[in-house]
Amino acid sequence: MKYDIAIIGGGPVGNYLANLLAREFEVVVVEARVSFGEKACTGIIGAESYEALKLPKVAVLNRLRGAVFYSKIQSFEIKRNSPQAYLVDRKALEKRLAERAVKKGAEYFMGTRFMGFRNGKAVLQRFNQQFEIEAQFYVGADGVRSRVAQEMGAKTKAEFLSGYEVEIVGEFERPDFVEVWVNKELNRDFFFWVAPVNESLARVGTFGSLDSLFRFLKMRMLKAGSIVEFKAGNVGLGVRKPWIKNNIAIVGDAALQIKPTTAGGIAYGMFCAHALAYSLINGRPADYENLCRDIRRQISFGMRVRKIFTGLDQEHIERIFEVLGSSEAVELIERTADFDDHAKTVKAIIRSPRLLAKLLKISPMLLRYLV
Ligand SMILES: Cc1cc2nc3c(=O)[nH]c(=O)nc-3n(C[C@H](O)[C@H](O)[C@H](O)COP(=O)(O)OP(=O)(O)OC[C@H]3O[C@@H](n4cnc5c(N)ncnc54)[C@H](O)[C@@H]3O)c2cc1C
């Protein structure tokens, strides 16, 4: 079987890319799972990005217009009048994108695993049957443990984190606000999030250890016995290079196109899918990495913020909360906050001499990594 483009991995990014390419090329998508949407993922996507990417409205479960940030002893709130992020149903998102791609002409091999390359062909396995397909160009959209990235020799020194997430029944009085809890005594590596689906159901998670998630649930007065769904998965924060070599490219989590501040990867992966599709349609695949330079900048900025975060203890966090919770900072954050461009807000804070002076007193690390 011969194709123009074979996309390995039918997650959100692979399916999205198939949509962009299916009218121009003979496209095949190879997906190891037998159905969509099993992956651990809270499904929060910036509203602006969601609209810009023209993602299916049917997958939106909830609209979030603000966040409440909690430390161990204080809190502050950032809110907007319009939704800033959507909480989506991953299965509906992936399936709808796959349906759209098929209608445009893409072919899907579900329940089929990519095993490696042999003589320029992709070796696939469906249950106990092995076969080969040939394509002019191969794309690895096969997630953080990408087999395609391994095969093309991409290297990384990224930090890999295990994420744990539960869907839990409780009382969530403000279903349009996500809660972000920073408590280094419970989890040194990451924050906890509580993302309501509605008034009585929320997705609660963290990256680090399962034990810390259960301790958080207890502290947040949510009962482990009220968990109705449990998922675990991995993210990689850092750089995996290269993103393209000869006739093979990687995209999405496979290329670690993940926001290091929140570990969200759907929007960044899809923006890079656009860059890849554009370069392929124009017959200049080598332009792909360069066309993703904004995302690369965001990732490298996010890595600096992550370095700061991991180096701080709870006392530092409390002092940062005092500064960021001030009316001056809240007003500035509300004015500049952009769900997928955290650099914009941080730069605005740094440009405020008073806020910068207060932050620098807390830790010289901030000077080293941000200014
Ligand atoms: C706990 C947790 C919470 C998260 N929350 C969010 C969030 O709120 N918002 C957000 O934007 N991101 C979030 N993420 C990250 C998000 O899940 C990923 O960035 C996103 O799934 C990346 O999409 P992808 O299509 O690149 O990769 P994936 O979703 O990993 O899809 C890859 C696909 O490739 C398939 N595959 C793998 N290997 C093979 C093979 N050899 N052959 C064939 N198929 C293969 C897999 O079955 C899978 O379907 C979260 C991650 C975790 C772990």
pLDDT tens digits along 229-264: 999 999 999 999 999 999 999 999 999 999 999 999
CATH fold match for the domains 2-61+88-158+237-298 and 161-234: no
**215-234 per-residue burial string, b: 16 or more CB within 10 A, e: under 16:** bbbeebebeeeeeeeebebe
- What is the distance in A from the centroid of ligand 1 to the CA of 102? 20
Residue 148 · residue 115 · CB < 8 Å:
no
Distance CA 103, CA 174 (A): 39
For residue 55, give the DSSP letter: -
Q: Which CATH architecture has domain 161-234?
A: 2-Layer Sandwich (3.30)
For 307-334, what is each residue's pLDDT tens digit? 999 999 999 999 999 999 999 999 999 9
Distance CA 84, CA 73 (A): 26
Cβ-proximal residues to 151 (8 Å cutoff; 6+ apart), any chain: 116, 117, 140, 248
Domain ranges of the chain: 2-61+88-158+237-298, 161-234, 301-370
Mutate to test the pocket of ligand 1, among 39, 139, 179, 276 (most ligand atoms within 8 A of CB): 39
Residue 371 has what pLDDT?
63
Confidence of residue 341 (pLDDT cuts 50, 70, 90): confident
- Averaged confidence pLDDT in the chain: 96
- What is the distance in A from the centroid of ligand 1 to the CA of 198? 24
Q: Which atom of ligand 1 has the smallest separation from the CA of 258?
A: 19
Q: Which atom of ligand 1 has the smallest separation from the CA of 207?
A: 1
Is the C-alpha dihedral spanning 125, 131, 132, 133 positive or negative?
negative
CATH H-level superfamily of 2-61+88-158+237-298? FAD/NAD(P)-binding domain (3.50.50.60)
- Ligand 1 contacts (CB < 6 A) are 8-14, 30-33, 39-45, 113-114, 141-143, 147, 163, 165, 205, 233-235, 252-253, 258, 263-267, 269
Residue 168 · residue 226 · CB < 8 Å:
yes
- What is the distance in A from the centroid of ligand 1 to the CA of 163? 12
> Whose C-alpha lies nearest to ligand 1, atom 13?
264
Q: Which atom of ligand 1 has the smallest separation from the CA of 12?
A: 25
Residue 346 has what pLDDT?
87
